[in-house]
Amino acid sequence: MRSLKWRSVAAAALALASAAATVLVATPASADAALRVHAQARGKFIGTALATSPLANETAYRNIAQSEFNQVTAENAMKWSDTEPNDNQYTFSGADQIVNFATANNQQVHGHTLVWHSQTPGWVQNLSATNMRTAMNDHIATVVGRYASNPTVVSWDVVNEVFEENGSFRSSFWYNTLGSSFIADAFRAARAADPDARLCINDYNVEGINAKSTAMYNLVSQLRSQNVPVDCVGFQSHLSTQYGFPNDLQQNLQRFANLGVQVRITELDVRIQGSRTSAKDATQATYYRNVVNACLAVTACAGVTIWGFTDKYSWVPDTFPGEGFALLYDNNYSQKPSYTAVHDALDDGTNPTDTTPPTTPGAPTASGITSSGASLSWTASTDSGGSGLAGYNVYNSSGTQIATSTTNSATLSGLSASTAYTVYVRARDGAGNLSSNSTSTTFTTTGGSSDTTAPTTPGTPAASSITSSGATLSWTASTDSGGSGLAGYNVYNSGGTQIATSTTNSATLTGLSASTAYTVYVRARDGAGNLSSNSASVTFTTTGGSTGGCTVAATLQTQWGGGYVVQPVTVTNGSSARTSWAITFTLPSGHTIVGSWNAVLTVSGNTVTARNAAYNGNLGSGASTTFGFQVARPSSDTSTASGYTCA
């Protein structure tokens, strides 16, 4: 399963590199093709961090971003402060803007970053251990889950900058509240949310072999030996010409690669002090060349992401007054010697030299127009550059790619009724060169019969299987007569926040708090997005989950047809310190434990007893720890373990 998304990355990288020419200034003689064309020929990505505001507002910024790079990282838009500024209030406008841009330009996205001490809202930093862990798991599940089925988003920085310079764990609110266990928990939560994404740990000042990079090495090695899903290590590489170049970079990348992880340069920039001189530019260019060469020399190095591309929007001057000029383009989008250095390092002279785009295709003709689709066909292009005609891209009037085709026709679907669409096409050759835009064509979809009738109101939900952390809801189904058909249901809490969705007339709620009253209602949804009225609500109270001076709360992290993972199970001590603990819970018949971590499990009949591992039995007053387990179950069975009790 995982390899599918990774394979699609390679396919996306191979799919297309735009012709650069129009916006680039004073192209050096050797710059015969864009960076992404050469990087692709070497089997690497070349990426940039993108900021949302210039991406929305500056054509020159967009043009370079799309033509030179085949990988993108959101400089800020996917950080916690941007995606979940308040508890359970998610905003994805900036993140989606970047993902949509990347999708339109055949670029892969690296998600940055899920768990970091910086740019995380105050409400997270002040939570109790139990609530902080829940907030972290929820955040990861929601943010990673949003893009899990999107092939553009291929990897994530799961934890960022967890080390001090001396190699000890950073004394962050994460570490100070949860201990180092948050790291493994975060990776497991990310894997559960997207089994296909590559999961990275990322840091700065780890480019050379030093105390910090060795601590990183030891942690990655240890986590992998414990089957924690760490797939990749990111080396930020915020370099400065005032410090020597880390000449052991390649050796360092290789020692990590030997652990079996992918390595990548994630945030490269090279700042200089004072103003630019040709000597400083040359030193900077050497640093860039050295980094690219180190990545090229290590098979497991996937590529290099530069932390922006124009000095106009670099973070450096804000953070290091008197320093700057760290990127490949100046404030006016002119290429600097560092651009040429990166270009020439990537260009080994043997890659395709086809820089001739195909001829411009004819204007598309629309036919077979319905309320939701149309067929387009156009006069074919020819290609004389050597790599041959590969296909066509179809764009709408805002320049968003809406279809591709390998022939001179395409079928558009999913259009809105009674809407005018203006479309044009560009031909693409085997080296990724794009033709000029064809003349555009405007057509209007037919009226169709738009469904504005909401489904009937669902029955009052009934709550069952109530535990200290979850419950099952079921209700009488709705019907839909509007034509688009019943699509599913949304479940809301009393504050009107949607807390679950379901395609059937039942839903499982997880992650609830013990001994808490919950009031919930449901609404049905049809295929056109119409929502029914609210059902009547039901109130239920979760069980206490506590006896014997401790409490336990279990979270169903993920489930599939044949099994599920419960993680974290949080054991919180009462007021007297203890040296051991035991939790019992009940497995439905036919369920079997297939794995567990941070606890020793024994099974007797349907009762499972989880006792502390050698290292986590000591709990001070009010302290907590977590464990987890995985269960196999018959594929038709949707029940899960229940009745968690502190024994």
Binding to ligand G2I, residues 328-347 (CB under 6 A): none
What residues between 468 and 487 interact with ligand G2I by CB under 6 A?
A: none
The answer to whether 48 contacts ligand G2I (rule: CB under 6 A) is: no
196 binds ligand G2I (CB under 6 A): no
Indicate the residue type of 296: L
- Binding-site size for ligand G2I (CB under 6 A) equals 8
Burial (CB count <10 Å: 0-12, 13-18, 19+), residue 322: exposed
Per rule CB under 6 A, is residue 305 in the interface with ligand G2I? Answer: no
* Residue closer to ligand G2I, measured from CB, 338 or 393: 338
Site string for ligand G2I, 262-301 (x = CB under 6 A): -----x----------------------------------
Residue number, 236 or 252, with CB nearest to ligand G2I: 236
Closest separation between CB of residue 207 and ligand G2I, Å? 13
**Which strands form 401-405's sheet, in the order they lie side by side?**
401-405, 389-396, 420-429, 441-444
- To ligand G2I, the closest distance from the beta carbon of 206 in angstroms equals 12
Q: Which of 255, 332, 237, 354 is nearest to 298 (CA)?
A: 255
Instruction: Fill in the DSSP letter of residue 86.
Output: B
Q: What is the smallest separation between the CB atom of 320 and ligand G2I, expressed in angstroms?
A: 10
Per-residue contact flags (x/-) with ligand G2I for residues 71 to 100, judged by CB under 6 A: ----xx------------------------
**Adjacency order of strands within the sheet including 582-586:** 599-604, 607-612, 582-586, 642-646
30 binds ligand G2I (CB under 6 A): no
Per CB under 6 A, the list member of 118, 128, 498, 602 interacting with ligand G2I is 118
CB atoms closer than 10 angstroms to residue 307: 21
Report the residue number, 160 or 335, with the smaller CB distance to ligand G2I: 160
CA-nearest of 409, 375, 369, 367 to 392 is 409
Nearest to ligand G2I by Cβ — which residue?
Answer: 315
Q: Which of 75, 84, 161, 207 is an active site residue?
A: 161
Chain-centroid distance, C-alpha 198 = 9
d(CA 110, CA 636): 36
- In the complex, the smallest distance separating the C-beta of residue 324 from ligand G2I, rounded to whole angstroms, is 13
DSSP 383-409: --SSS-EEEEEEEETTS-EEEEESSSE
Write the burial class of residue 276 (CB in 10 Å: 0-12 exposed, 13-18 middle, 19+ buried).
middle
Q: Residue 411 to residues 103, 396, 436, 550, 645: CA-CA distances in angstroms? A: 19, 14, 21, 62, 58
Q: Select 123 or 560, whichever has its Cβ closest to ligand G2I.
A: 123
CB of 416 to ligand G2I, least distance (A): 34
Q: Is 267 a catalytic residue?
A: yes
Active site residue 84: no
Q: Smallest gap, in angstroms, from Cβ of residue 236 to ligand G2I?
A: 5
**Euclidean distance between CA atoms 369 and 417, whole angstroms:** 10
CB atoms within 10 A of CB 498: 11
Minimum gap (Å) between residue 111 Cβ and ligand G2I: 12
Question: Measured from the CB atom, is 50 or 553 closer to ligand G2I?
Answer: 50
Q: Is 315 in the site for ligand G2I (CB under 6 A)?
A: yes
144 closest CA partner among 132, 161, 156:
156
Task: Give residues with Cβ within 8 angstroms of 122, minimum separation 6.
Answer: none
- Give the residues lining the site for ligand G2I (CB under 6 A): 75-76, 118-119, 204, 236, 267, 315
Question: Which residues are the active-site residues?
Answer: 161, 267
